[in-house]
Amino acid sequence: MKVRVCFHDKCFDGACSAAVFTRFYRERIHPDAAFAYTGMTHKASQPFEDGIFDGDENAIVDFKYSSSPQLTWWFDHHQSAFLKAEDAEHFRRDHSGRKFYDPSYKSCTKFLATIASQKFGFDARPLDELIHWGDIIDGAQFASPEAAVGLGEPATKLALVIEAAPEPNLVPMLIPYLTELSLAEIIDLPLIKRHLNPLLERHRHSIDELRERTDFRDGVVYFDVSDLDLEGYNKFIPYYLYPNALYSVGVSASPTRAKVSVGTSPWKEASAEVNLATLCEKYGGGGHARVAAISLGPGDLVRARQVAKEIAGTLRQSVVLH
């Protein structure tokens, strides 16, 4: 029995969701299943390539829906979970009892653990630490910007490595460990340890880089780090540098995409009228009400900068009006 698990790549919540699903499936569905993992990235083109669902069972966690008949399990919590209206309708017509969606959850990890426990009798308690931190990190529920940027906890150090993923297949190799070990044990694994100190140094350097490149006006931080290897920068740095900021808009780039990231300070009360997922959907992106993004092609950096400046202007106007 082969189970293909597609998860949101380079994302702490995505990795934790895949780990929770793995342990749930092994304990409650098929104890002898063999798992294969595929990290999924939001991009301008269709994310699901032909042949990706090659398992006897195929699951997607913490990522967009697919109407493929090969998909047997799905868990997600993003407002922008459906690529098109037909996918949403396909999900609504599904009666398998194995596809679940609730955008009210702050993390897919906690959502998946809750559904697996309530509907399938899964005992999620051995994964309490993983579920707790999945919800804090993806839900931006840190006590302060200093706590979010300081990286003092094993979970935040691990998230740093997962988001950078500096070697191929690092996260798929890591997921089986997440099902069994504590986070303190995991950051001591050679797979993580060899990358942690260089990434911590890069993190410290990125704070200085963002400080030099930010334009903070009318409650909105705008920055462009597209010429640097910083796609996996800590998204809380803008609020650490500018505690009065309400929103941040950043441009970054990698070999696979140009990205516009839009966020709300977790420590500020934003206007309910500004839904960042809805705002980014106008440009082909999406996400959550308080954090969202737009992925463009790797050659679309000029367009990404234009879009980012438009969004920053829209957000600045909303702050001034309120």
pTM of whole model > 0.95? no
**Residue 16 contacts residue 3 (beta carbons within 8 Å):** no
- What per-residue confidence (pLDDT) applies to 49? 75
Q: Tokens standing for 228?
A: 């640097």
Domain 215-321 -> CATH class: alpha beta
Per-residue pLDDT tens for 111-170? 999 999 999 999 999 999 999 999 999 999 999 999 999 999 999 999 999 998 888 899
**Residue 36 contacts residue 173 (beta carbons within 8 Å):** no
- Give the whole-angstrom CA distance, residue 146 versus residue 51: 44
Going from the C-alpha of 169 to that of each of 40, 76, 154, 189, the distances in angstroms are 12, 22, 21, 15
Question: What sign does the dihedral 78-252-36-166 (CA atoms) show?
Answer: negative
Of 322, 222, 204, nearest to 268 by C-alpha is: 322
Domain with CATH 3.90.1640 in the chain: 2-190
- Give the whole-angstrom CA distance, residue 246 versus residue 256: 29
Which residue is listed with tokens 């009892």?
Answer: 97
Of 170, 134, 177, nearest to 39 by C-alpha is: 170
**Residue 144 contacts residue 267 (beta carbons within 8 Å):** yes
- What per-residue confidence (pLDDT) applies to 45? 54
- What per-residue confidence (pLDDT) applies to 148? 95
- Give the whole-angstrom CA distance, residue 162 versus residue 186: 12
Per-residue pLDDT tens for 265-283? 999 987 768 999 999 999 9
154-164 helix and 128-138 helix, angle to the nearest 10 degrees? 60
Domain with CATH 3.10.310.30 in the chain: 215-321
**Residue 250 contacts residue 215 (beta carbons within 8 Å):** no
- What per-residue confidence (pLDDT) applies to 18? 98
Radius of gyration (Cα) for the chain, nearest Å? 19
DSSP collapsed to 3 states, 181-228: CCHHHHCCCHHHHHHHHHHHHHHHHHHHHHHHHCEEECCEEEEECCCC
- What per-residue confidence (pLDDT) applies to 228? 87
- Pairing of β 286-287 and β 73-76: unpaired
Of 179, 178, 180, nearest to 192 by C-alpha is: 178
Per-residue pLDDT tens for 154-176? 999 999 999 988 888 999 999 99
Q: Which CATH architecture has domain 2-190?
A: Alpha-Beta Complex (3.90)
- What per-residue confidence (pLDDT) applies to 50? 77
**Residue 314 contacts residue 302 (beta carbons within 8 Å):** no
SS3 36: strand
| Residue 77 DSSP one-character state | -
- Give the whole-angstrom CA distance, residue 208 versus residue 228: 13
- What per-residue confidence (pLDDT) applies to 157? 97
Point out the residues of the chain with pLDDT beneath 70: 43-46, 231, 272, 320-322
